[in-house]
Amino acid sequence: MSEVIKPIVIAVTGLNAIDSPGPGVAVIRAIRDGMDRPVRIIGLAYESLEPGIYMDDICDKTYQISYPAAGAEVLYNAIKVIHDKEKIDLIIPNFDAELFNFITIAPRLKAIGINSFLPSLEMFDARDKLNLFAFGQKHGLLVPKDRVIYSVNDLYLIGEEFGYPLVVKGKFYDAVVAYTLEQAQKAFYKISAKWGYPIIVQQYIAGTEVNIAALGDGEGKAISVIPMKKMYITDKGKAWAGITLEDESLLELARKIVVATKWRGGFEVEVMKTVNDELYIMEINPRFPAWIYLSAGAGQNQPASLVKMALGEKLLPFTSYEVGKLFIRYSWDLIVDLSEFQQFSAFGSL
């Protein structure tokens, strides 16, 4: 009789596969593709209409958790209740706004048997939008000038200093290119109403936008680096299609960031490449991007590699990937019984 292999139980957030998608569904697909032993996926959702809850072959079971604003203690208690039922081996959070709480409770989760593969709070803070310019100066990396503001009145002087256009950003998400003071003011009010204060105003850099998905081992080594150029962008600025690039300067940039931070886990670098081939770091997002399934398609499955490292495997860096590999995102109508929606809405699990 063949031995029954116990599945690895992995909890994953970010199931909102909408027009501004979270990374969760892509992370799960990559894990299912890239593991050589069974996995059981536990979805962690914030809203009852997150599509990943209802998609076949994505989550084996999904539970609802509270929004990050509820705090780390509420999160820990919720995860512990789920763990008592599911015996979670590993948890992979996928939203910027939730990472502080997950990093804070990571030692307590480890104590009850739940692994994670997350950066330290020091790493997390170093690449924060509020600290990014100082980070660039410290490590010899190009980062646009920025100002952190709390009042719309500050925009006038910043506009005089930076000139137009300039970029208005939220502390977690959203960025608007403003070509006039009036547009900048409108963006300030809209973004602050959604994400709160402060607001970051950044110097505009003209060029070609490129994104890099990378995976660090926590010891200064980049296990995987995949650069991608957006080929189709939604009105929210999200990549709806993209292609892997061959560009050693982009690979080296990601490696420099890993060395500088000793980053542990996945991250994304948003880069603007100028006509003079200068690489300006626009943002460093502290988690896998929503397009991370492309890493699996290109031959460097980053989510599956993270799982292996989180469970104790030592991996060597990938040495090649497929250049010219495309991803094209698409939408379709998912038909769900009302009873499933009611079950999740009423009882917080499905």
Higher-pLDDT residue of 102 and 3 is: 102
Which residue is it, tokens 């480890």? 110
Cβ atoms of residues 286 and 313 within 8 Å: no
Determine phi and psi for 167, rounding to 5 degrees. Answer: -115, 130
The residue among 227, 218, 287 whose CA lies nearest residue 253 is: 227
Q: Determine how many CB atoms are found less than 10 A away from the CB of residue 326.
A: 13
Residue 233, pLDDT above cutoff 90: no
Structure tokens at 209: 């936008």
Token pair listed for 264: 């542990």
**What is this structure's pTM?**
0.91
Residue range 172-198: average pLDDT?
89
Q: How confident is the model at residue 285 (pLDDT cuts 50, 70, 90)?
A: very high
Higher-confidence residue: 109 or 130? 109
Any residues with CB less than 8 A from the CB of 232 and at least 6 apart, and which? 239, 240, 241, 242, 328
- pLDDT, residue 348, reads 86
Instruction: Write out pLDDT tens, residues 304-325.
Output: 999 999 999 999 999 999 999 9
- Give the tokens for residue 77: 């208690």
Per-residue pLDDT averaged across 248-275, rounded?
96
| Peptide bond just before 286 cis, omega within 30 deg | no
Amino acid 310 reads A
Amino acid at 204: Y
pLDDT at 263 over 60: yes
The overall average pLDDT reported for the chain is: 93
- pLDDT tens-digit series, residues 7-59: 999 999 999 977 788 899 999 999 999 999 999 999 999 999 999 999 989 99
* Domains along the chain with CATH numbers: 8-117+333-347 (3.40.50.20), 123-127+206-328 (3.30.470.20), 147-203 (3.30.1490.20)
**What is the rounded distance in angstroms from the CA atom of residue 134 to the CA atom of residue 140?**
10
- pLDDT surpasses 80 at 1: no
Task: Say which range, 39-48, 230-239, 255-264, has the weakest mean pLDDT.
Answer: 230-239
Task: Specify whether the CB–CB gap between 183 and 176 falls below 8 A.
Answer: yes
Position 228 confidence tier, pLDDT thresholds 50, 70, 90: very high
Using an 8 Å Cβ cutoff, are 117 and 217 in contact?
no
> What pLDDT was estimated at residue 195?
83
Predicted local confidence at residue 2, as pLDDT: 55
| Two structure tokens written together for 118 | 């997350």
The residue written with tokens 């930076």 in the block is 162
**What's the mean pLDDT in 141-163?**
91
Residues 6 or more apart in contact with residue 209 via CB below 8 angstroms: 229, 230, 270, 271, 272, 273, 282
Nearest 5°: the CA angle 123, 256, 327 is 90
- Side by side, the strands of the sheet bearing 61-64 are 61-64, 39-45, 8-13, 90-92
Give the confidence band of 171 by pLDDT, cuts at 50, 70, 90: confident
Query: Both tokens of residue 83?
Result: 């763990």
Q: Please provide residue 54's backbone torsions phi and psi, each rounded to the nearest 5 degrees.
A: -105, -5
Which of 304, 207, 293 has its CA nearest to residue 250?
Answer: 207
pLDDT value at 99 more than 90: yes
pLDDT of residue 239: 85
Query: Could you tell me if 284 and 267 are in contact, meaning their C-beta atoms sit under 8 angstroms apart?
Result: yes
Q: Each residue of 253-264: b (16+ CB within 10 Å) or e?
A: bbbebbebbbbb
